[in-house]
Amino acid sequence: MSTGHAVAAAVLFTWLGMVLAISFIEAPLKFRAPGVSLQVGLGIGRLVFRALNSVEAVLAAVVVITVGTDPPSLPVIVAIGIAVVALATQLLVVRPRLAHRSDAVLAAPAVSAPGGGSRRSRAHYGYVGLELVKVFALVVAGAALLGT
Question: What letter does residue 49 receive in the DSSP assignment?
Answer: H
Q: What is the pLDDT of residue 69?
A: 94
User: What pLDDT is attached to residue 147?
Assistant: 86
115's torsion region: left (phi>0), alpha (psi -120 to 50) or beta?
left
All residues at 6 or more sequence positions from 91 whose CB lies less than 8 Å from its CB, including other chains: 53, 57
- Alpha-carbon distances of 99 from 67, 90, 93, 108, rounded to whole Å: 33, 12, 11, 14
* 3 state DSSP class of 34: coil
Per-10-residue mean pLDDT of the chain, 148 residues long, equals 93 98 92 87 90 97 96 97 98 93 76 52 91 98 91
* Single pTM value for the model: 0.88
